[in-house]
A and B are shown apart, each in its own frame.
Chain A
Amino acid sequence: MSDLMGTILDGILLGGLYALFAAGLSLIFGVMRLVNIAHGDLIILSAYIALVASGGLGLHPLVSLVIVVPLMASLGYALQRSILNRTLGKDILPPLLVTFGLSVFLQNALLQIFSGDSRLLHAGGLETLHVDLPAGVAVGVLPCLMFMVAVAVISGLQLLLYRTGLGRAFRSVSDDQEAAQLMGINNAHLFGLAMALSLSIVSIAGVFLGIRTNFDPSIGPTRLIFAFEAIIIGGLGDLWGTLVGGVILGVAQTLGAKINPGYQILAGHIVFLAILTFRPQGFFPKTR
């Protein structure tokens, strides 16, 4: 029994990581209706940047975020202003194609530079630290930290979107791009800021991913799928819903893995498909 509770707890906490994968993707889709197919690969890119920063400068991977976050944010702004803004318009196909191309490019560039060997970010024992809870359940410090960071990131995003002028601008552009220009908003710049914000969250997700599991250049697309699943299960447009979606996905995966280690990914997909069938709008859809 305590074994089962431990598994479920692991799944819930894993949901925090999936929410971190998803939050940036959701933000970009919300603000500019852009589906970023390269999102997963950008997560892996951040993990590699953290690998270089922590290896080269001897920083703890979490401390390396002081380098990774600004670097990825700048990359996001530049990418949006130079390439992605040109793909936005009435047709939804160009951004899909261009970000798909970016995904292929990133995977191959990382393969070229770092080879296909699996890597891991060494966090000085943080990976294995445990706290013993009553009833014989043990819980990892790292998963707890990931979950708390996910809650903090989502709270921060909510505050930004609903309590600041910048958030108001993001929401108005999301509603009506032409009317937003009449407010004096430079949409191209605002989209750049949204992408910078998205890739800042991606950096945090990438570093946690790299501490938690092995990574290599090919695993980005699977992270993208997890992010999509968390968003759809939670209901499009609601960030707390995305966290719940991540938790449902995480629990499904850890329970699946408990039945048979090979079922981990499959169990997540099955639960996702079941929800898509019976509640296609997700649990907390934000209808406007």
Chain B
Amino acid sequence: MMPSNLLETHGLAAFYGDFQALFGIDFHIEPDETVAIIGSNGAGKSTFLKSIVGLLRAKAEAIYFDGKAIGGNPAYRIVAQGISMVPEGRRLFPSLSVEENLLIGAYGKREGPWTLSAIYEIFPVLKQKRNVPATALSGGQQQMASIGRALMANPKLLLCDEISLGLAPVVIKEIYAQLERVTASGTTLIVVEQDVKQAMAVADRVYCLREGRIALEGRPSDLSREQITAAYFGL
């Protein structure tokens, strides 16, 4: 394996019971790179992220992170090694306040640049609302809190699952602007996006998944619209 990659998967397969959702995914991302994963509903995008972070079982050698085989490790160990995830649907803890949600992100006490004050600097609205229950936030604010919570773990690799889903364009723009600050500070980023245009705009490289397999991979500038449409819909 090449040591230059932060994360690699080799023939990664994933199952929900007897149902196979991923069929041999070969993926890699270099440090400081931003990679977007696109694909239609049910293509296996979320499944891929869940496998990386340990919520779904994987074979040990199927996933290498920082040069170590991490497949099959429980999620709490993988998070401790420096991968955190912003889950689809935000999944904030409703009985915790906004600030408590951020603090629980730092449960593993990994050292790094992200602290409460650093999060409040990129998302000032969270500071104003820090004592309200997480459920009292608007959708966009909840997404900011969920991203902030994941950053509090000071990850080397941040996984974002459908963060623009259901949000107004202006809010999406704001959130992606802040994510750029996050990647500029040295965090490697994988975003799963249904919005292809958004994905192309932020990513250094794009993977398109279809029916649990990689249908296309490349730099946004190298990919034509026709290629993407074909990969996306399987035409």
Contact = CB atoms under 8 A, between A and B. Distances in A.
Given A171-B93, A174-B95, A175-B95, A182 B104 contact: no
A44 B91 CA distance: 41
A165 B76 contact: no
A169 B95 CA distance: 11
B34 to A, nearest CB: 20
A181 interface: yes
A288 interface: yes
Given A175-B95, A183-B105, A184-B108, A168 B100 contact: yes
A179 B153 contact: no
B95 A288 contact: yes
Contacts of B55: 178, 181-182
A187 B153 CA distance: 17
B94 A181 contact: no
B53 interface: yes
B157 to A, nearest CB: 13
Contacts of B84: 182
Q: How large is the interface on A (under 10, 10 to 19, 20 to 34, 35 or more residues)?
A: 10 to 19
B116 to A, nearest CB: 13
A176 interface: yes
A147 B54 CA distance: 46
Contacts of B150: 182
A282 B104 CA distance: 31
A179 B95 contact: no
Nearest to B101: A172
B91 A179 contact: yes
Contacts of B108: 183-184
A182 B85 contact: yes
Interface in A155-194: 165, 168-169, 171-172, 174-176, 178-187
B58 interface: no
A183 B91 contact: no
Nearest to B50: A178
A265 to B, nearest CB: 35
Given A165-B107, A169-B107, A288 B94 contact: yes
Interface in A241-275: none
A185 B95 contact: no
A182 B50 CA distance: 10
A57 B75 CA distance: 46
B95 A184 contact: no
Interface string B203-226: 000000000000000000000000
Given A169-B104, A169-B107, A175-B96, A181 B75 contact: yes
B153 A172 contact: no
Given A168-B100, A178-B55, A183 B107 contact: yes
A159 to B, nearest CB: 15
Nearest to A182: B85
B80 interface: yes
A170 B41 CA distance: 34
B41 to A, nearest CB: 20
A183 B149 contact: yes
Contacts of A176: 91, 93
Interface in A121-139: none
Given A178-B55, A179-B87, A184 B94 contact: no
A168 B96 contact: yes
B94 A183 contact: no
A184 B87 contact: no
B103 interface: yes
Interface of B: 53-55, 74-76, 79-80, 84-85, 87, 91, 93-96, 100, 103-105, 107-108, 149-150, 153
Interface of A: 165, 168-169, 171-172, 174-176, 178-187, 288
Top 9 A-B residue pairs of the complex, sorted by shortest distance between their CB atoms: A184-B108, A184-B79, A181-B75, A179-B91, A175-B93, A186-B76, A172-B93, A183-B107, A184-B107
29 contacts: A165-B103, A168-B100, A168-B103, A171-B100, A178-B55, A178-B87, A179-B91, A179-B93, A181-B74, A181-B75, A181-B79, A182-B75, A182-B84, A182-B91, A182-B150, A183-B79, A183-B107, A183-B108, A183-B149, A183-B153, A184-B75, A184-B76, A184-B79, A184-B80, A184-B108, A185-B76, A185-B107, A186-B74, A186-B76
